[in-house]
Structure formats: structure tokens, C-alpha cells
Structure 1
């Protein structure tokens, strides 16, 4: 580790294979918590390179617990986190809404680290039981249209890293990895990134994957479609800047999306959205993201029509019906 830290101090970069080996060594507990904390902090002092991101990703996919969905085609909606905006759980809610609209979802998520409440935190609060049992997860997908992959269970090799990340409480390179290492590697994915540079790296990686994707970056720094500003979307087919009005929605203010300070606050907002009792702003943010995710699956359909599908998922009650089936199954 001393050699690695010295290289970082000299602003040296790691090859793809070197990055892969570093993460394999972390997983094998070859470094102690102080050394890992020092590495994560020093690494954060400069931008990650594409080769490093690819190498870290290679290692995590190599070590993860696999999940075979037996040919089921799914989508995941996930942000990197680390944008410092403390929004409510927009990505997770968007997944429930997309599932309610009839598109199977394999959601990959974890506890909040750089934000107050992550997707796993709110699901625990709502009574969902995490599992790696393949039959159970496939049943969830068939019955509720959605299954949830709790990252610490599917990436047990990184158990040593979780406490360190929580103690640091800041964005690290692990934020950049999370969205890329869904064990299912679903056919469709919508990512949110906290920077334009990371968007470009995700774009390259996904272009090599052959899967359908969209990558979102809010021009005011959000890792999702916040509707607080224009936002950039890069997909297999296009690259453009969108405005809220092009989705048939109004521009929002940052305070409209506040997620509160606790899992209880997050759970209240979560249920209010699904019960169609949320504020117009909260509902709009969710259907914007859910709609753009539907557009990944149906690129020939207009964005406004995709947003309308998402709205109907909530207003018809299908989204909350699917959620109740997921929690009860």
C-alpha cells in the first residue's frame, strides 16, 4: 500500500489490470482500514481514469454473487450519488413506477453513504427483506415486476469497505462503481452521474457492452433528472440537452426535492408518491426519471408519451399495487 500511496502522491495513474488487482487485494483484506481510507482519500484528489474505472469494475464483477434471471429482460435505474443534493429516493421510486408500467426491473442499490438515506435504507424502513436466493428474486420479478439486489449481499468481498465509506461520509471512487456492477448486467440501464467527465466514461463502457442505455447529468450538478435545470442525456442513439418543458413538466426548485434527514422521512415521501398524495414537484421528478427510463426500452416513443406512461402507473394505482406485492411476497 505504501507504494500505491506514493504513486498517488505523484499523480501517477494505474493501468486497468493494476486497478483490478488493487480492488482484489482490498477484497482479500490485504490492507487494513487505515490504509484503505488513505487510499480512497488520496485517490479522490484527482479524477479517475477510464482504465482505472474499468479495472475496478472488472474486479467487482469477477467477485460478485451471480444472479441468473433465466432470460428475463430487465432495467435498472441508478445514480452514482455524491452530488451533495440530498434528494429523496427518486431512482428507487422511479424503478417502482417503471415496474408498475409493465417493465421488469432488477434494481441494484445500497445504504446511503454520501447521502442521508440510500435505497436500501428506505427499503428496510418499508419492511422489505433482502436476499440473494435466486428463486425468491425471480418470484419477486414475476409477481411484482421488480426485484432488489442489496449490494452488500451481492458484493460481500467489499464488506471491509462499507464502514470506512460511512465514516468518511464523502464521495469516493466506489460511488462511481456502484451503478456499473449490477450482478444481472441488465439489458437496459439508466444511469445518473454527478459530472460530465464521468458521463463520458460511462458512455464508453456502455457502448462496449452492447446493451441499451441512457446516461443523465443535470447541468446544475444533479445525478438524476431533477427538473431544476436543463439536463444532458446520452444514449445509444443520441446525445442532447433536454429542458423540463420538453417532457411536458415545469421547472422545479432545489428545495422541492429535499429528502429529509432520516429513513422515516424518506419512507413518508416514498409512500406519498406511490399513493399519489405527494407534492406536484415530487411526483414530477419521479415521472420524469421513470419516463426517460421507459424511453430506453422504447426509443421510438416520444419522451412525453413515456412520461405519460409513468404518470399513469402512479395514478392508476399499478405502481403501489406492485410495491405491495413486492413487500408481501
Structure 2
């Protein structure tokens, strides 16, 4: 749990919102609403001391919490007033700044450590303060980690402890990479949690394995913790193999999948988008239908209709052509980094996220998965965990088992809206031949429906959609988007694109399919492909 001390700051919930994207358990208390003794009764993994008016000496329990964090080696982030409070707690001084800053931007240089890891230097930050740490007063226990272009101290860190202060406001939308700094702090909090767990790995593993062998379900928190250990390299191959095998034999629950997904999302390389209304069309794969890349083609149509798509995908494992395979044939740079993908989505509405590049922790798991040779928890997690952290998803699944299991997972993960699809004959798309089972997730509610493509003049034959290579898939997609192919393959794309539009817009299915069809007919889907392809090759 991360404890946030609110120093009567009017923008405290901007910080809390950022924290909430990476940590589900947060508690907020005003600086005069909780005592240190009360805080000691909580299980605190990290502390944030907020900005606020006045001097740091007047920040109530903030000073005690900083002392406690230093004594117990608990990660702490002080922002603005919290940064100044850290300064005086360790024996430094604060005084009037050379320039009073109220909503002004400055260029910040930093050392790339701690909360600044992975942040370009310099970057632009927003400042609201009249006090600063006095350089000459700082004790040896503090190191300066960041400075402004006017020579003021903008960042401090306690040497050899996860204690940090920043004078500027990372929670401001005008501060570059502010969300990533908050994410870095939460990552540090989680790392300290894991360090505490490492000594318990053996006993924890034995306990979990014993329970799984008796077909006892694990909690969401337990699977999240064990997945953390796997993705951070704290478990042995034997422990990973035992865990995945026992879970598979018992059968994974929604809680177990959701906990693992939370861990995997925290360990991925993030694509930080400002727009929340972004959809993914990545399905489970594994249906062995050998159809062309319908969901990838549909993604261009959705983007051409004016909606943002963060297409997560991989190379082929069970099909003739994976999304990365066909996009490569279409001329895309499929290994684009997060900044390039972000720019593609913001400028063209489409960006491709190549899964292996964004999930570095899987390097500890992949060799074991290959040796096991059967479906494991990670076959389910792959399509679920989009590094853009989308809250809208159309996910086709090949099995009835997954179809019945995944809606609860989406609810547990807090999706705004999602569809889980299971096409007749085991297709992991909405099918043009037969009916498709659909469960719609709308925040915490679910409802089922059956989609008959004939009701929308979109019925056809799947045999007309089959391919034997990525080259064939490429040709079909190009022909559809250039309006040279208007038969069954086009119907399949319209059907699946329309479903994505349906969850992004407050319209009927019929209207959504019309929008998808129009995006092809007016050429915008094809233009999206061309523009996104060009941008994918640009440097970050």
C-alpha cells in the first residue's frame, strides 16, 4: 500500500490518479488527520508527501513520516513541499528562491537515477514554488539528482535509501514524462516489496505448490506476487515449471489470471498515451483456422474511422501469419519503440506494439514454456496485457473455456468496455460463417449476446478468407483497404472492425458496421496504413 500525505494541496488527486494506474492500493490522509502511531499500524510499502502551501515546518505529520521512511528504509517521494520537508528533516535548510515560480516551465537536467530512470535529460517541468533547498546546507546523506536551468535544486535523493524529492510538479500535465516518474517510484516501491519476498521465495513456493496440488485456488494477490517473482528472475526454472504446470492441471481462475496480468502490466515497457479511449483488437490466437490477419486489418479500419488503436501482437505461433509477420510484409517497422508507437497513434490513430520487445521479464519464463510444450497461464496473459494499458479491448478466443473465463478477468482489471468473442467452429474472431458468442463488459457489468452476420448482410464463407503465408495475407489486406476486394474477406474485416467501434462509441451495432464500411469506402483506412507505415520508421 502507498500512503499519500496530503498537505492541503488542491491538485493532490492528480498525483493519486497517476499512482492508481500502477498501484491498486492507495490511502490518502491530510497531514493533520493521521498520526505516526496510526500509520505504524498500516502495512505501508511506500509514502508520498504531497505539495501544499506554507513552509515545510508546518506540514504536520509529513515530517514524522519522512523520519519513519528513512529509519525503516521505506520508499518515499516528496513533491514540492514534500521535497522541502525532506531537506529540513535531514538537517538542510530552505530559503527563498531566486525566482518565484507559479505555473512556469523550466528545463530540468538530472542524473538518470531513481525516479529519473529512463527519462530524457533535459526535460520540461512545471514549477509552483517560492522556496528552494539551500545547496550549501545539504548534508552528505543527500545527493542532488536534478537541477533547473536557473541553477536551483530540483531533485534530491537520500544516499543508499529509496528516498526521493522533486521540487517541480510531475503530476502536472505540462511536465514531460511526469507519469513515467510516478511509475518509476511505484516500480521502486514494488522492487522493495519483492526484496522482502525474495527471502521467502522457497517457503512461499512450497506453500503455493502444496495448495495447487490439492486443487486449491490462489488469491489475486498471491498470483500477482508470484508472477512478480518470476518476471524479476527470483524463481528457478523448476519453480516456474511447477507453478505453471500445477495451475494448468487445476485450471486457472479469473482471479489468478487477473493477478498475473497486473504483475505483467507493471513489468512491461509502457506506451504512455494521453488519450484513454484507445482499443486493442488482439485475440488469443490458437484457432488454427488459417484465416488472413482479420483483426490487424480491422485495426486499420477502426483507425480510419477516427478511433485510436494500440495493436498488440506477435509473430505466428499457431497460425500461418501473425500480426507482426503481415505488418512486416506491409512495410512496417514492427520493432518501433514506445515513443514512436505513441507518435504513430497520436498522429495516425494506429500503432503496433511488438509483444516480445515490451515484456522483458518474459525472458525468465520463455525457456520453461518452450520445454513444457503445452498451453500455460502466459498464453492467456499475452493478449491481455497491452503495454499501452488500454481500457477498451475486443478479444476473440478460440475455446469456450476461455470465453467463459475472461469476462470476469476484464471486470477485475477495471476495463471500461470490452468484448470477448468466440466464433462458431472455434474461431478467435467474429465469424462471417455461423454465429458468434459475445460477452460485453461495461465496467463492472456483463451481458451476453449472439451475433448473426446475416442480420447485417455480412454473412459469407470462411474458406474465402484462408491463406497459407503472410504474403497472401498482405495481398488480401491491401485489396480490402483499396476497395479491390469487396467479398467475404471484406465482410470479415467490417464485422470485426464494427465491434471495436461499437465499444468505443455510444452507437448501435448497425451504425458501427456502417462506420467501418465507410472507412474503407472513403479510403481513410488505406491512408491510415500508409501514414502509420511511414511514421513507424521514424526515430524516437
Q: TM-score, normalised by structure 2?
A: 0.55
- Separation (CA, whole Å) in 2 of partners of 1:117 and 1:164: 24
- 1:228 paired residue among 412, 433, 457: 433
Would you say the 8 A contact 2:424–2:431 is kept in 1? no
Could you say which structure has the greater relative contact order, defined with CA pairs below 8 angstroms and 6 or more residues apart? 1
Unpaired runs of at least 5, structure 1: none
Q: Equivalent residue for 2:457?
A: 248
Query: Which segment drifts farther, 207-216 or 223-232?
Result: 207-216
Q: 1:152, CA displacement in angstroms?
A: 1.5
Change (3 A) 1:169 1:320: farther
Change (3 A) 1:173 1:112: farther
- 2:227 paired residue among 19, 23, 26: 23
- Separation (CA, whole Å) in 2 of partners of 1:283 and 1:328: 24
Q: 1:32, CA displacement in angstroms?
A: 5.6
1:175-228 superposed Cα distances (whole Å, 9 cap, x missing partner): 211232112222422121223443343322333415122221223322210222
Would you say the 8 A contact 1:82–1:175 is kept in 2? no
Q: Equivalent residue for 2:384?
A: 180
- Separation (CA, whole Å) in 2 of partners of 1:257 and 1:222: 12
Q: TM-score, normalised by structure 1?
A: 0.87
- Separation (CA, whole Å) in 1 of partners of 2:367 and 2:282: 22
- 1:239 paired residue among 436, 448, 451: 448
Would you say the 8 A contact 1:152–1:159 is kept in 2? no
- Separation (CA, whole Å) in 1 of partners of 2:418 and 2:477: 25
| 1:91 aligns to 2:295 (yes or no) | yes
| 1:79 aligns to 2:288 (yes or no) | no
Unpaired runs of at least 5, structure 2: 1-201, 536-540
- 2:350 paired residue among 140, 146, 150: 146
- 1:14 paired residue among 209, 213, 218: 218
Change (3 A) 1:9 1:150: same
- Separation (CA, whole Å) in 2 of partners of 1:166 and 1:280: 39
Q: 1:290, CA displacement in angstroms?
A: 0.3
Would you say the 8 A contact 1:113–1:166 is kept in 2? no
Query: 1:149 aligns to what SS in structure 2?
Result: strand
- Separation (CA, whole Å) in 2 of partners of 1:42 and 1:187: 30
Structure having the larger proportion of residues in helix: 1
- Separation (CA, whole Å) in 2 of partners of 1:25 and 1:223: 31
- Separation (CA, whole Å) in 2 of partners of 1:277 and 1:34: 53
Q: Equivalent residue for 1:309?
A: 515
| 1:133 aligns to 2:304 (yes or no) | no
Q: 1:22, CA displacement in angstroms?
A: 3.0
Q: 1:102, CA displacement in angstroms?
A: 1.1
Q: Equivalent residue for 2:495?
A: 288
- TM-align CA RMSD: 2.7
Change (3 A) 1:139 1:65: same
Would you say the 8 A contact 2:231–2:264 is kept in 1? no
Query: Which segment drifts farther, 303-312 or 165-174?
Result: 165-174
Would you say the 8 A contact 2:257–2:409 is kept in 1? no
Structure having the larger proportion of residues in strand: 2
1:249-268 superposed Cα distances (whole Å, 9 cap, x missing partner): 12424x233232x3333323
- 1:110 paired residue among 309, 314, 335: 314
Change (3 A) 1:94 1:14: same
Within 5 Å, which residues of 2 pair with 1:56-71?
56-71=260-275
Query: 2:281 aligns to what SS in structure 1?
Result: strand
